[in-house]
Structure 1
Amino acid sequence: MDTTFSLDDFGPRICIMGPSNSGKSTLAKAIASKQSLPLVHLDQLHHFPYTNWVPRKTEDFYQLHEEAICEERWIIEGNYTKCIQSRLKRATGLILLDVPVTTALWRYIRRCYSSKPRIGGLTTRRENVTWAMFKYIVHSAPKNHLGHRIIFEQATIPKLMLVNPSDIDACYQSWDI
């Protein structure tokens, strides 16, 4: 991990990207608390609350996304790359969690058996392990890996890529979050 970055280097509008179950929501919540930033979970904008991941109409999601990024201060976690460019135009910092599939799988299983509700989830109930999510983590999410890296490399704002759990832990320690 590049320990030369302080949280202040990322400014008042931070994007966190990465594969499902990489720790985006947890990191975003910790940073939001430390920096007093409003926290936006894109999954909660894209899906109706208290549903089993029922998506909103695309235009409704885009409207909610635009309203969120127009604010002066925020931390937004999630990918939704169809609208990433407008988000990055407003962002002052970018963090990419580029963790291995095995890490994402472990985090998913651990989350589903935790007694705590998922940070950034749609309900307050514990989620169940599903075959669909296993398939998504193993087959679909890795296909997005290259695209996320390209977005990261092209970004001209302060940015940090974390590629394993020890890098993420080092950030928590270094930033006292």
Structure 2
Amino acid sequence: MPLAALGPRICIMGPSNSGKSTLAQAIGQARDLPVVHLDQLHHLPDTDWQPRPVAAFVALHDAAILDERWVIDGNYSRCLPQRLARATGVVLLDVPTLTSLRRYVARCWFDRDRIGALAGNRDSVKWAMLRHIATTTRANRRRYDALAATIDLPVVRLATPRAIAAFYRTAGLTRPRRAAIRAGSPPAGT
């Protein structure tokens, strides 16, 4: 499916550490779409992933989806119905759990300028996150299967790192340089 078929409001969902933020940034650059990283809306900047109050997060989320053009990465099922109601296309990443675990550890140890990071935060390996990735991915995979079968939107499903790389190539996407992303301003309200 061509990237243009996903329209001007694209949701990118998938397991933690599957490459959602990097793909969102690449699509945003290629299609000139504002990029919204839900992790940045859900968590307070300059903290170690401290969540905002629920009402504040929902308000930021709902304001972001009112725009006519965007690419949003993240799951946050609490707000998924209203996000899908505005979306024009969905990309589902479905990488193996071991890939997500490996990417999580690598980003915490080696990736100081990762795309989608919280302002003022340095990621560190946390047991709770390792457990979340190891136990939640399987259940989420079943939910994504059901979601893909029921939504009336164009859906691109990418189930392996190789499939993701092929999507980058066929869509003419370039992996964004982190230094360029750091120089940009964070999304409104963060």
User: Which TM class, normalised by the smaller chain length?
Assistant: over 0.9
| 1:132-143 matched pairs, under 5 angstroms | 132-143=128-139
TM-score, length-normalised on structure 1?
0.93
2:95 — aligned with what? 99
Of 126-135 and 50-59, deviating more is 126-135
1:169 and 1:70 map into 2 onto residues whose CA distance is: 31
Q: Which aligned segments of 4 or more residues in structure 1 are displaced greater than 4 angstroms?
A: none
Over the matched positions of the two proteins, sequence identity in percent amounts to 48
2:46 and 2:30 map into 1 onto residues whose CA distance is: 28
| 1:129-168 matched pairs, under 5 angstroms | 129-168=125-164
Shift of 1:124: 5.0
Shift of 1:78: 0.3
Task: Name the Cα RMSD after superposition.
Answer: 1.3
Gaps of 5+ in 2: 174-190
| Residue number among 34, 38, 62 corresponding to 2:30 in the alignment | 34
1:115 and 1:19 map into 2 onto residues whose CA distance is: 19
2:42 — aligned with what? 46
Cα-to-partner distance string for 1:4-45 (whole Å, 9 max, x where unaligned): x11111110000000100110010010001101000011111
1:172 and 2:161 aligned = no
2:67 — aligned with what? 71
1:117 and 1:101 map into 2 onto residues whose CA distance is: 23
TM-score, length-normalised on structure 2?
0.86
1:27 and 1:116 map into 2 onto residues whose CA distance is: 18
Gaps of 5+ in 1: none
Aligned length: 173
